[in-house]
Amino acid sequence: MNWGTLYTQLTGVNRHSTSLGKIWLSVLFIFRVSVLVVAAETVWSDEQADFVCNTLQPGCENVCYDHFFPISHVRLWCLQLIFASTPPLLVAMYVAHRRHEDKRGILCASRSRAKQEEDLESLRKRRLPITGALWWVYAASLLFRLLFEAVFMYALYAIYDGVWLPRLVRCEEVPCPNEVDCFVSRPTEKTVFTVFMAAASGACMVLNVAELAYLVAKAATRGPARRGVRKGQADYAAKDKGLLQMMRNETLMASSSSVSSACKAV
67 binds another protein (CB under 8 A): no
The DSSP output letter for 257 is G
26 binds another protein (CB under 8 A): yes
Strand partners of residue 169: 182
Residue 19's SS3 state is helix
Q: How far apart are CA 65 and CA 122, in angstroms?
A: 58
The CA–CA distances, whole Å, from 51 to 46, 168, 185, 195 equal 8, 10, 6, 21
30 binds another protein (CB under 8 A): yes
181 binds another protein (CB under 8 A): yes
Q: In the complex with another protein, which residue's Cβ is closer, 53 or 128?
A: 53
192 binds another protein (CB under 8 A): yes
Q: Which stretch binds another protein (CB under 8 A): 24-32, 88-96, 130-138, 201-209?
A: 24-32
The CA–CA distances, whole Å, from 232 to 22, 91, 112 equal 22, 22, 30
Q: How far apart are CA 192 and CA 163, in angstroms?
A: 9
Q: Which stretch binds another protein (CB under 8 A): 28-36, 145-153, 213-221, 258-266?
A: 28-36
By CB under 8 A, the count of residues binding another protein is 41
Phi and psi dihedrals of 195, rounded to 5?
Answer: -65, -45
Among 9, 12, 37, 129, binds another protein (CB under 8 A): 37
Question: Residues in the site for another protein, rule: CB under 8 A?
Answer: 1, 3-4, 7, 19, 22-23, 26, 30-31, 33-35, 37-39, 41-43, 45-46, 50, 52-55, 121, 167-168, 181-189, 192-193, 196
